[in-house]
Amino acid sequence: MSNAPKNKRPTKRWTPARIGIYLFLISAAAFFLLPLYVMLVTSFKTLDDIRESSIFSLPATLTLEPWAIAWTSACTGLECTGLKVGFWNSVRIVIPSVILSILLGAINGYALAFWRSKYANLLFGVLMIGVFVPYQVIMYPLVRLLSTVGLFGSLPAIVVIHSIFGMPVMTLLFRNYYAGLPEELFKAARIDGGGFWRIFIELMLPMSTPILIVATIMQVTGIWNDYLLGLIFGGTELAPMTVQLNNIVNSTTGERAYNVNMAATILTSAIPLFIYLASGRWFVRGIASGAVKG
Amino acid sequence: MRKQKPGKRPNWGLHLALLPMAITAIVGYLATLLWSIFISFTSSKMFPNTNLVGFDQYHKLFASERWQLSLQNLALFAVVGISLCMVLGFLLAVFIDQKIRSESIFRSIFLYPYAMSFVVTGLVWQWMLNPEMGIQSAVRRLGFESFQLDWIVTQDKVMYCIILAAVWQASGLVMAILLAGLRGIDEEIWKAARLDGIPTWRVYLNIVLPMIQGAVATAFILQAIGAIKVYDAVNSMTRGGPGLASEVPAKFILDHLFQRGSIALASAASVVMLLTVVALLVPYYYINKHQAAQKNAKA
């Protein structure tokens, strides 16, 4: 997103057209913010308050209890240990998956951009199937494959799975970035006698900061928000936060504690939302590079 | 191109580096894809077997009412949902492009749903549209006793609820992509149009829109592929209900793989999904190529 140049200063005149523009934007903003507002106010209400009032009304008495329950003691099926279990599972899944998938994408992109081998380009062509292939097509064979290797339902399995599903887009991202760097740099390094890995580690990686930021934002939000892969490859032990959230909300025992459910929902979205707000412009850059969410 | 001279030592560093990509591409994508295609021609139920039955599974699939329903739902979701997303996204981009104040605040508000999980989107809208506690009950409390908004529990309306949630989630994405396109347009075009006295809306529709068709195509393809894969939102919002009224292909496949033990049927369905994606991408690829060729011809 380029910022508007200086001569594009907002005009000061309030014509009917200008008022119309702002009315449209403010109504649209209201539509986008409404669900967030409802979640927030409901998460601070008591259950009696929810029964008595409209979902749009402010809490009669502020209570923090729903948040505490959601975090420490809400029931996900049989266990009643709250979302914190899922939160730490998600952290354990996200950190190695993000590091591995970005590292592999960077190595692939570097090899493709500078080490022109026919064989690498052929592999890249095959890998591009992965950008568009629906998860469902290759999911079952992957389950069988991991069961055969004896990894199914373990942390290494889910890290490998996220790396497999992340590789096409990551490779594309880094390949395009490295293709934009001046080739003379690489040639000079070759003349100086740098080998494959040395040029990568000492020259290319230090120059990759912007694309590393974009890749990290994409992978952290993408893997944190993943539901399906976590559900199928994580098993019960490693259920990520999104899967636990779904279990908490859809566990039909007694009365639905909407305030707890909404607090749990906000907690699950907290990390990606924080990353998004802290990195607005970079986040958009990742989208523009053709991120495809499953 | 660097040519490998005969007798030259192979580049072990490069080969080692390409190993993960080779394994992922050949085993992770190619072999699994071929395996799924092969299984779709067998009689596999709970466990894969190699008993070939030709196109039987495909006949069974298209005779299945549940699959037909999921295809109809997907068609509705794609046509209505993508149109709404594109129109709303384009409008938002155009209005933000009017040199407004607090532009970054508006941008952040329109795009934040895209940062959240589809599971979250599904849950939030499920609560908003729930007749007992959501918008319907809120409006009734205001004194409009006969107000009705029970689409989410109505079989022939439930897909529109899922469309609403999807539009809320993805319009900001369309806005971001199109806005990037709008910002790339030369200021001179606007000056010329102003001199000719063409109204702004006509400039956008007849001059600017054709100029940003690349961004429009990208936004469309992202939406279309997202629509084909739609699963999380449906699962958390309606679980395919009421009845089977909001069943979608992705959910059909997963249910048959992991709950109903019809692996071959699910594989046949996934091959149909794959062909749909290919059918979408081939024209996109050729249009891109054609445009690149035209640009080169002009240069």
B200 pLDDT band, cuts 50/70/90, is: confident
B112 and A4: CB-CB below 8 Å? no
Crossing angle of the two packed helices A65-72 and A16-43, in degrees rounded to 10: 70
Scanning B118-137 for CB atoms below 8 A from A yields 118-120, 123-125, 127-128, 133-135, 137
Distance, in Å, from the CA atom of B34 to the CA atom of B40, rounded to the nearest integer, reads: 10
In a domain, B38, yes or no: no
pTM metric for this prediction: 0.89
Nearest-by-CA chain A residue for B253: A136
Nearest-by-CA chain B residue for A243: B119
Please report, rounded to a whole number, the percentage of residues in chain A having pLDDT higher than 70. Answer: 92
Could you give the C-alpha distances from A159 to A136, A152, A156, B213, B236, in angstroms and in order? Answer: 18, 11, 5, 38, 24
Q: For the segment B125-168, what is each residue's pLDDT rounded down to a tens digit?
A: 999 998 888 898 888 888 888 888 888 888 889 999 999 999 99
B107 and A126: CB-CB below 8 Å? no
Mean pLDDT of all residues in chain A?
A: 87
Residue A269 in contact with residue B120, Cβ under 8 Å? yes
In a domain, B90, yes or no: yes
| Res. A129: pLDDT tops 70 | yes
In a domain, B32, yes or no: no
Per-residue pLDDT averaged across A194-223, rounded? Answer: 92
Contacts of A29 in chain B (CB under 8 A): 106, 109-110
Residue A245 in contact with residue A265, Cβ under 8 Å? yes
Distance, in Å, from the CA atom of A107 to the CA atom of A166, rounded to the nearest integer, reads: 14
How many structural domains is chain B composed of?
1
Q: Which has the higher per-residue pLDDT, A3 or B184?
A: B184
Cβ of residue B183 closer than 8 Å to a chain A Cβ: yes
CATH number at B278 reads 1.10.3720.10
Nearest-by-CA chain A residue for B239: A250
Nearest-by-CA chain B residue for A199: B13
* pLDDT (0 to 100) of residue A2: 43
Contacts of B35 in chain A (CB under 8 A): 141
Per-residue pLDDT averaged across B209-232, rounded? Answer: 87
In a domain, B44, yes or no: no
Q: For the segment B262-297, what is each residue's pLDDT rounded down to a tens digit?
A: 999 999 999 999 998 888 888 877 877 787 787 777
Min mean pLDDT across A76-90, A158-172, B67-81 is at A76-90
Mean pLDDT of all residues in chain B?
A: 88
A292 and B226: CB-CB below 8 Å? yes
* pLDDT (0 to 100) of residue B112: 93
Chain A: nearest CA to B299, how far in angstroms?
21
In a domain, B115, yes or no: yes
A144 and B1: CB-CB below 8 Å? no
Chain A: nearest CA to B277, how far in angstroms?
7
Candidates B14, B31, B33; nearest CB to A133: B33
In a domain, B8, yes or no: no
Quickly list DSSP for chain A. -PPPPGGGPPP----HHHHHHHHHHHHHHHHHHHHHHHHHHHHTS-HHHHHHS-TTSPPSS---HHHHHHHHT--BTTB---THHHHHHHHHHHHHHHHHHHHHHHHHHHHHHHS--HHHHHHHHHHTHHHHS-HHHHHHHHHHHHHHHT-TTSHHHHHHHHHHHHHHHHHHHHHHHHHTS-HHHHHHHHHTT--HHHHIIIIIGGGGHHHHHHHHHHHHHHHHH--HHHHHHSTTTT--HHHHHHHHHH--SSS--HHHHHHHHHHHHHHHHHHHHHSHHHHHHHHHTT----
Q: Which domain holds residue B142?
A: 58-298
Among B5, B117, B164, pick the best mutation site for testing chain A contact (most A Cβ within 10 A).
B117
Chain A: nearest CA to B22, how far in angstroms?
6
A134 and B254: CB-CB below 8 Å? no
| Res. B4: pLDDT tops 80 | no
Cβ of residue B235 closer than 8 Å to a chain A Cβ: yes
Q: What are phi and psi of B239, to 5 degrees?
A: 55, 30
Contacts of B104 in chain A (CB under 8 A): 280
Candidates A28, A167, A258; nearest CB to B127: A258
Residue A123 in contact with residue B20, Cβ under 8 Å? no
Query: Buried b vs exposed e over A162-172: b needs ≥16 C-beta within 10 Å?
Result: bbbbbbbbbbb
Among B1, B12, B18, B101, pick the best mutation site for testing chain A contact (most A Cβ within 10 A).
B18
Tokens of A54: 């409209």
In a domain, B182, yes or no: yes
Tokens of B215: 């961004």
In a domain, B41, yes or no: no
Cβ of residue A225 closer than 8 Å to a chain B Cβ: yes
B222 and A292: CB-CB below 8 Å? yes
B29 pLDDT band, cuts 50/70/90, is: very high
Cβ of residue A119 closer than 8 Å to a chain B Cβ: yes
Cβ of residue A171 closer than 8 Å to a chain B Cβ: yes
B5 pLDDT band, cuts 50/70/90, is: very low
